[in-house]
Structure 1
Amino acid sequence: MSDAAENIYTPRQRHVLLIVALLALGALTLFGLASYLSSFLGAGILYVVLRPWFSALGHRRGWNRQLVTVLLLLFTVVVLMIPFYALSTMLFERLRNIGQYTEQVLTVVHRLERLTGVAFTSEQNVRTLLGQAASQVSHWLPLLAGSLLHLAVVVGLLLFTLYFLFIQEEAFLRNLRRYLPFRPATLAKLWEALHDNVQANVLGLVLISAVQGGLTGVLLWVFQVPDPAFWGAIGFFVAFIPVLGTPLVWGPAAIYQFAQGAIGQGVGILLVGTVVVMNVDNLLRIVLARRLGHVHPVVTLAGMTLGVGLFGIVGLVIGPLLLSYLGVLLRVFAEENRQSRAPEEVAPVADPGRLLPLAGKWCGPPEADPQPAANR
């Protein structure tokens, strides 16, 4: 008698348990990495954006793969860092010179006091505001430190993932073809949908933000708001924020004009900002989605609404991509279902006279036998 323990499971049971174990481990992994999911999604998006350059330099020109990858990563860091560096420099410059605008700030505050009837500058209100500000700052500092650390980890993980996507590109694509349950034709359609959505939403988002920032600067210049170029640059950055966007800039500018007594200019800012600046976002997004990526406008708008709620700002690309993938998979399912039904459609059909109870009504009475029964 053998000492080896006999396995109690049948081959089919082992197969089912293996699938259950894979699903459980996959779900646990996704749950553990949920807070860093944007890193992997962002790396995938940047891979699609930078892949033509990598192919041109690494494949066609024969440059060293690691050198090309490092150059692309440096380019990514520079492109991401320069706008934030410029923004922080402009903000620090304004904060350093804020003392020059003390009188203007006090004038605005006094006007607001007269309009609202609330004494903001009374000693009691000042003490209350300072106490609340100190309490909020002490509460925000640990959160700010934690957010900066989380941001550093997210960016580092994004660059790390992007590096290996380029260095091990062939193995990555080969494993995708091996483990994804799709035919090569389906994978080609999924890749095309990914490329179209990235083109339409990444490049389109940058162009739309630039247009909105420029329009915001022109709007504030026309209605005589101080420093319109600076606020136009701020408008470019806040245009990336879903839902809120440029109203974060021209809304306070309208309040400033109201406080200065320029009621007409404040109303003009609100009207032009609402009618022109906000709607140019939707118009350009629809046009660019069709021109850059051949993505239907409904897919773009509905997908962004879906994606922002699930993934944050990365959802501006991921949301439309999910809807596009849903459409691709539905078409693939319809094609494969039609192919599987093809033999049934060409099979001979049974005599309807035997299938329909009222066949005689439609087919007529049976023909008479030409020979008498006695002659058979």
Structure 2
Amino acid sequence: FMLVQMEAFEQALIKYAPFREQNVQRFAEEMRNTTYANVLGQGFIALVQGSLVGLCFFILGYTDPVFWGVVTTFISFVPILGPPVVFVPAALLQLANGNNFAGWAMLIFGFVVIINIDNVLRFMIAKRVGNIHPVITVLGVVIGIPLFGILGLVFGPLLLSWFILLVKIYETSAMASGRLERIKTISEQD
């Protein structure tokens, strides 16, 4: 929704937001950056995880590596399940069939690299695309998941970033008002 309706949402924000125009523009830009960082980042992470599972399946000689890579890409959007739903049963099947190297290699690579690439990339993308501090991303996810379920992965950091921006805008406006009052008081005393 946010990606498709971004322009209409920004126009409504400009029309109805109770801020000065420069703050509205700042808020709209921050919204755009945060939305792109979270939504596009999630898609990119899913592609990377799916590609890694597919590549590992190919290298270790598992059947249908492309198919399982695509399945992993889609399952990567489900936070609690994710890639282990694909690579753990495949590795256990290899171990049960006596192919210990392929089974253990998949389990180790899966739990060490594939799962953790999510954590590393999420912070890097949030910082680069949206200029979001990693702590905001973590807190947003921790707050967002209980409130929104799976969608909290995206909406938690998004809403927390917006809230922090609103606080910054308020602080800037309050400081400007305070300065204006001091200037007004000084000019009245003269």
What is the TM-score of this pair, normalised by structure 2?
A: 0.83
Q: 2:142 & 2:88 partners in 1: Cα distance? A: 23
Partner of residue 103, structure 2: 266
Task: State how 1:334-373 maps to structure 2 within 5 Å.
Answer: 334-342=171-179, 343-344=181-182
Q: One-letter code of the match for 2:90?
A: A
Aligned length in residues? 185
Partner of residue 311, structure 1: 148
Please state how far the C-alpha of 1:278 moved relative to its aligned partner: 1.0
Partner of residue 127, structure 1: none
Partner of residue 58, structure 2: 221
**Aligned to 1:323, which of 156, 160, 163?**
160
Report which of the two structures shows the higher radius of gyration computed on alpha carbons.
Answer: 1
Partner of residue 252, structure 1: 89
Moved over 6 A (4+): 345-348
Q: 1:178 & 1:277 partners in 2: Cα distance? A: 45
Partner of residue 2, structure 2: 44
Q: One-letter code of the match for 2:30?
A: A
Q: Is the contact made by 2:2 and 2:35 (CA closer than 8 Å) also made in structure 1?
A: no
Q: 1:321 & 1:186 partners in 2: Cα distance? A: 18
What is the TM-score of this pair, normalised by structure 1?
A: 0.45
Partner of residue 30, structure 2: 193
Please state how far the C-alpha of 1:305 moved relative to its aligned partner: 3.5
Structure 1 regions of 5+ residues with no counterpart? 1-42, 52-164, 349-376
Please state how far the C-alpha of 1:310 moved relative to its aligned partner: 2.5
Partner of residue 300, structure 1: 137
Q: One-letter code of the match for 2:135?
A: V
Q: One-letter code of the match for 1:265?
A: A
Q: 2:78 & 2:147 partners in 1: Cα distance? A: 15
Distance 1:345 1:262, change over 3 A: farther
Any idea what SS the aligned residue of 1:226 has?
coil
Q: One-letter code of the match for 1:329?
A: L
Please state how far the C-alpha of 1:214 moved relative to its aligned partner: 0.7
Please state how far the C-alpha of 1:325 moved relative to its aligned partner: 1.2
Task: State how 1:71-150 maps to structure 2 within 5 Å.
Answer: none
Any idea what SS the aligned residue of 1:211 has?
helix
Name which structure has the greater RCO, CA cutoff 8 Å, separation 6+: 2
Farther-moved stretch of structure 1 (321-330 vs 338-347) = 338-347
Q: One-letter code of the match for 1:293?
A: G
**Aligned to 2:118, which of 281, 288, 291?**
281
Structure 1 residues 78-131: Cα deviation after superposition (integer angstroms, max 9, x where no partner): xxxxxxxxxxxxxxxxxxxxxxxxxxxxxxxxxxxxxxxxxxxxxxxxxxxxxx
